Amino acid sequence: MARWKALPEELDPQIGEFIRQLRRLVEQGGLSVATLADRTGYSRTSWERYLNGRLLAPKGAVVALAEVTGSSPVHLTTMWELAERAWSRAESRHDRTMEQIRITRARAALGDFGGGTGTTTADAPPANPPSAEPLPGRRRVLLFLAGAVAVLVVLGTVFLLTGRGDGEGAGEAAEPSSPAATSAADLPPGVKCVGVGCTGKDAETMGCSGDLVTTARTATVGAATLEVRYSRTCGAAWGRITGAAPGDRVRVTAGGETRRGDAVAGETYTYTPMVAVGRAGEAEACVTLTSGRTGCTK
């Protein structure tokens, strides 16, 4: 097997230890990434991301790896839970950093505009050199310009920081939105939808999975692992089951929308189309197994 790539330097130590444990299990089992993908139901691309620290493996993949390698799923899932918390903390720090960058840029842009206007008026020579006070007519003009600049600054700040222009607020207020994705124009390359625009669509096709997704909730029902998958960037969630049998059904519900996915022969996992959410906690996933057993995420 090819040597592993070095893990990213910025990776949390807790996550790094978890990934190194996954690598050890794969090496001890003599598994290639292709064989691992075939036996667990998770794609080769996904496992390459999991094992190289680009994406945290979902709990279902961890349980599947334990089954394939004959390892204890209890110990491995405990390590996963610690890594999941560390990953969530890192995501929160990243979101706060990006938000601060956007605010700083907005303030800088507004400062340049306001500063230029202020410099022009402050540096202009007095219209009446013998007098320390401007002429009454000029004073009124300066006051008017100062008021106009103040209004533009306020309007510009609202527009830049909320991503809404005049006339759009009423329409968007009723739509669920993600804190990190309020406008399609701000989406990363490859992401094709946001919020209600993602409802009913496939997460992988629309670019909402991969590095952009986290597991918001999870539950075990029979032999199946049930998850709510959440993309903050897309402002959407979907349900997924692993360890599924043909005929098992999973559904996700949020904001009055319900979407379903069915496992078919040859698949050990399946997922639903997406529903729009403002935050991960708004979505709930439920499964109905062919055995008649049912369950939902907490």
pLDDT tens track for 223-266:
888 889 899 889 999 998 877 788 888 999 998 888 887 766 55
Q: Kindly report which listed range (66-70, 146-150, 158-162) carries the lowest average pLDDT score.
A: 158-162
pLDDT, greater one: 205 or 296 = 296
Neighbour tally for 157: CB within 10 Å: 15
Least confident range from 148-162, 189-203, 213-227: namely 148-162
pLDDT of residue 294: 92
pLDDT in tens, 13-63: 889 999 999 999 999 889 998 888 888 888 988 998 899 888 889 988 999
Q: Is the pLDDT of residue 107 over 80?
A: no
pLDDT band at 180 (very low <50, low <70, confident <90, very high): very low
Q: Which of 245, 212, 203 is nearest to 231 (CA)?
A: 212
Tokens describing residue 207: 């670019």
pLDDT greater than 80 at residue 113: no
pLDDT value, residue 116: 46
Statement: residue 285 has pLDDT above 90 = yes
Two tokens, residue 118: 């202020």
* Mean pLDDT in residue range 280-287: 90
Model pTM above 0.85? no
- pLDDT score recorded for residue 19: 92
Q: Which of 62-71, 118-127, 283-292 has the lowest mean pLDDT?
A: 118-127
